[in-house]
Structures are given as C-alpha cells and as structure tokens.
Structure 1
Amino acid sequence: MTFDLGPALLFCPADRPDRFDKAAERADAVILDLEDAVAPGDKAAAREALVAHPLDAATTIVRVNAVDSGYFDDDLAALARTGYRRVMLAKTETVVQVDRLDGFEVIALCETAAGIVNVASIAAAPSVVALMWGAEDLLASLGGTSSRDDDGRYRAVAVHARSSVLLAAGAAGKAAIDSVYVDIPDLPGLEREAQDARASGFSATACIHPSQVSAIRTAYLPSPEEVASATAMLLAAEGERGVFRFDGRMVDEPVLRHARAVLARGTGQPQQP
C-alpha cells in the first residue's frame, strides 16, 4: 500500500454535504471530517451525509473519531456503507487502536503525548500508509495553551513532535503529512511553512480552508531554478565516478537523491517516502 495523495489535503466537515463537491474540485484530496469539525449533536447527520453524498474514493479520506471517544463504532458502521477505504484515525495512540480499522488504509493522526511517544510502533503497523501530527491537540493533551510563540514559531515541544512523526514515517517507509496552519489569512506564512515541510521530506500538508490550497501547491512545486540545477547536476553525474565537485559543491549519492526528488516533484511524479 502506498500513499499517493497531495500535496494539498483539505478538511471538510462531514455534516456539510453542500461543500463536498467544491472541496473535491479545489484540493488534491478531501478529508471528510467526522471528528472536531462536527458538533456532538450533528454527528449522526454527518454520518448520513457521508453515505448519501459520495465522492471519488480514490481522492477522499474520512477522519473518524478516536477509538475511545464513544463515537468510533458508529463511524465505523457508517464507513461500512460507503466505498471509502482511506481512513484518518484521530488521536491515534497505540497499534491496538489502529488494528480496529482492519481492512482500511490508515492515516494515523498522532496528536497526543501518548501518540507521539508511541509513533514508531504505530508507523510500523502494516495497515498504516501515512502519519500526520496535530499541534493544537498535542499541546492541549499536555495542558499547554498554544503550539506557537508570540512570533508565530512552533514551540520546542511541537517541533519535537513534528520531527518525531516525520522520522518515524521515514523509518517505516510511510508518508508524512504536515499539520494544518490555522492562521487562514496568513498565506505567506503558510507557504513558508509548507516549503519547509517539502524540503524536510513531508509528502503533503493538510489545510482547513480552500484559500490555502494554492499556497501549499506552490510551496511543494520546485522553482525553475531548482529544477535547472538538479537537471544539470544529474547530467554532470553521468560522467563521474563516486564523489565529484559541481558548481562549487561536493556531490555524493545523498545529494543526487535530493536532485532526483526535486525533479520528481517538478514533473508531478509520486514521491516515495
């Protein structure tokens, strides 16, 4: 199983079927959300909307409530009435929880202290195709008040969680999805953060508003200068053996892999974690 969606994954409340088609048109994939975006009293209606208004299963993910939330079993029953097979499990903390989604491709959303501590074992679960992390839920689970400081930068604990999820995903050969950027009007800030995500090795970034999709797509697409440099480097490598010097830089196999990744992004080919 592979994860081939992205780079812009758009959350859409599952109790708003009037938004389903628009979200699917604007993003690379839609995350129909049965969890935080839906009030407790509206969850039954959201499940019915999930069944009654189907989207393309190949580009749709369903976020279900946490296993111990009291809503999970009903979410699972609704899923059984659909063709959706990619499921994001909110507040994933253990492999045992992941196993409750046997038969699905699971995106493990690690957004609590327990989830981050156990992320390596979660990533290794066979049904897990990708990992995502959540900043605000993580800080809430720690008793904190905000994932970012006054300058808008992630606090140290959030940086650690982000890195832990990315490293666990990479070690297990799975994709990693970066957390949402909640300051919706700040598109330059989102683009900078998504550029960092792409450069660090994330496969996609989740978002909460259609206006954020373009900024994420732009950030994940290499610049013409990056493509030209990578192309020239790989051409130069064809006549070299081992380490060589190119444009004042030492080039070895890891650097060449970076160049191949740039070209893969530039041509729209799927990224392998």
Structure 2
Amino acid sequence: MTFVMGPALLFCPADRPERFQKAAERSDAVIIDLEDAVAAPDKQRARGAILAQLGSTGEGPELDPSRTIIRINPAGTEDFEKDLHCLTHTPYRTVMLAKTENAGQLRALEGFHVIALCETAAGILNAPAIAAAPNVVALMWGAEDLLASLGGTSSRKDDGGYRAVALHARSSVLLAAGAFGKEAVDAVYVNIPDLEGLGAETRDAVASGFSSKACIHPSQVAVVRGAYAPTEADVAAARQLLDAAHASGSGVFQYDGKMIDGPILKHAESTIRRAGAST
C-alpha cells in the first residue's frame, strides 16, 4: 500500500466516529487520534469506534487505508499495547507514534509505516536515530507537549511567534528527516480563528522544506492547501528558469540578473512538483 501524505493532514478524535468520513473528505489524509484527543476513560470506546466503522463483516465502509493515519499512545504504556491489538483487526497500517523518544520504541511497530511524533526533549535530541529507523516514513514535531516536558508554559511569545527552543526543535526535526530522506510534518497551529497567522506559518513551512502541515480544524485545510499550491506565476517562472538552464548547457549561468546554480534549479523543480501534487 502506498500512503498518500498530501499537504493538509487533519486530526479527528477517535471517539467521534460520526466525524471520520467528513474529516477524510475535507483533508488530504485524516489522523484518527487515540491519544490526546480522547480522555482516558473513553479510550477503549474509541478503539471500538474504529472497529465499528469497518462494518459487522469487516469489509466496510472503512476509511481509505492509503489516506488514514492512526495516532497511537506512547510506547511502553498499557494503552499503546491495546492500540496495537485493535489495529491488528483493521486494514490501517500507517500510525503516528505519540511522544516518540528513541529508535528502540519503533521495533514494536514492525509491519507499520510510522510517522514519529517528536514532542519531548529526548525525542528532539534523538530525532536523527529515529529518522534512520527503516519503518519510519516521516517525522513530525509537537510544540506544546515539548514545552510542557521542559516545565515551560507556552511555545509562543506574545506576538505569536515561536520561542527559540521551539524553533530549534522544529529545525532539528526537519533536518533529521531530510538527512534520512523522510518526510517532515509541521506542527499544528492552535489559534483556530487566526487563519492569517496559519497562512504565514504554512508558507514558511513550504519554503523551509516541510512536506505537509497538521490541522486541528477543517477550516485550516484550505489555508494549508493554498500555501502549498504554487500560483500560476510561480509555476511559469519555474518553468522558464528550467528552460533557460537547459538552453545554457552550463552548470552556472546568469538569468534575470542573478547567478543561477544547482540549488536554485532544485527550488524550481520543487515548485513544479508541488504544482503537480495540487492539481
């Protein structure tokens, strides 16, 4: 099964099965959340909801496994073991491991594609080793859990920008993912009404190299998709630049008053790829 990541991933509480299909329809991939979105007394009922939506015969109408992620509880917990037992009865084989802290935790997830959620100090520091694990397909970072694990109170300053430690964590996870050829998912934007701020942060994620961004509300999906979709002018400029490179026949050349080399051409190629993904 080829998993389709897409730019906009939407969280949905696992104990709200009436929202499963709507969340899937409104996003590029849905994250059915068995961890933070579900209170401890409701977790078993949430697992039951995942099984129930498969139908009494187990044949449907289930969510598309190629566009469904199940966020499971942290390794080493009783809920983690129960989550895995539940998933053995489903077709879902892409999981997001909450609070991933070391590569050893991923051995219990053999047979699954894993999005490792690094949201503690240990997880951030061990991000390269986590990214190197063969069953890891992507890394995501989490701001609020990280600051809570450090004894902090907020990942953002009064102006809405991230604190230095959060920016360091964000960059560390992105670099670790890139070093091992894995995708990187940017953290959620918790100020739901602030779509302008979400747009600015997502445009930075695109420019920095994140392959997607997680959303916590359907209203955020269109903003994220819009930030990832290049404009017609962007695509035209990228194509013209690549055509000029082909015509020049040299490694470095001057174009529109600028010196152009390999990395700049890769930026243009990335724009073309994003345009194809958004059509």
TM-score (norm 1): 0.97
| Alignment map for 1:7-18 (pairs within 5 Å) | 7-18=7-18
CA–CA distance in structure 2, aligned partners of residues 70 and 26 of structure 1: 32
Of 212, 215, 218 in structure 1, the residue corresponding to residue 220 of structure 2 is: 212
Give the residue type in structure 2 aligned to 1:14. A
Instruction: Report the Cα offset of residue 4 of structure 1.
Output: 3.6
Is the CA contact (8 Å cut-off) linking 2:229 and 2:278 kept in structure 1? Answer: no
Moved over 6 A (4+): none
CA 18–190 in structure 1, closer or farther in 2 if over 3 Å, else same? same
* Structure 1 residue aligned with 2:275: 266
SS of aligned partner of 1:242:
coil
Deviation at 1:68, TM superposition (A): 2.8
Is residue 239 from structure 1 mapped to residue 232 from structure 2 by the alignment? no
Cα deviations by residue, 1:161-192 (Å, 9 ceiling, x for unpaired): 00000000000000000000000000111011
**Counterpart in 1 of 2:130?**
122
State the Cα deviation string for residues 52-107 of structure 1 (Å, max 9, x = none): 11311010000000013331000000011100000000000011111111100000
Secondary structure of the 1:88 match is strand
Name the CA distance, whole Å, in 1 between partners of 2:68 and 2:50: 11
Match of 2:257 in 1: 248
1:155 aligns to what?
Answer: 163
The match for 2:178 among 151, 170, 174 is 170
Superposed displacement of residue 2, structure 1: 7.1
Q: Which residue of 2 aligns with 1:226?
A: 234
8 Å contact kept, 2:3–2:66? no
CA contact (8 A) 1:2 1:129 kept: no
Q: Which residue of 2 aligns with 1:257?
A: 266
Question: Could you tell me how far apart the structure 1 residues matched to 2:278 and 2:199 are?
Answer: 21
Over residues 111-147 of structure 1, what are the superposed CA-to-partner deviations in whole Å (9 max), with x where a residue is unaligned?
0000001000000000000000000000000000000
For residue 187 of structure 2, what is the amino acid of its counterpart?
Answer: S
Following superposition of structure 1 onto structure 2, how do residues 81-96 of structure 1 map, counting pairs within 5 Å? Answer: 81-96=89-104
**Offset at 1:6?**
1.4
The SS at the match of 1:31 is strand
| Corresponding residue for residue 194 of structure 2 | 186
Task: Please give the alpha-carbon distance, in whole angstroms, between the structure 1 residues aligned to 2:92 and 2:48.
Answer: 14
Conserved 8 A contact 1:234-1:256: yes
Measure the CA separation in 2 of the matches of 1:115 and 1:268.
30
Return the alpha-carbon distance in structure 2 between the equivalents of residues 78 and 248 of structure 1.
59
Q: Tell me, what secondary structure is at the counterpart of 1:233? A: helix
* CA distance in structure 1 between the aligned counterparts of 2:179 and 2:212, rounded to whole angstroms: 17
Partner secondary structure for residue 71 of structure 1: helix
Q: How many residues align?
A: 270
Structure 2 runs not aligned, ≥5 long: 54-61
Identity among equivalent positions (%) equals 64
CA contact (8 A) 1:57 1:83 kept: yes
CA RMSD of aligned residues (A): 1.3
Contact 1:3 1:130 survives alignment (8 Å): no
Partner of 1:71: 79
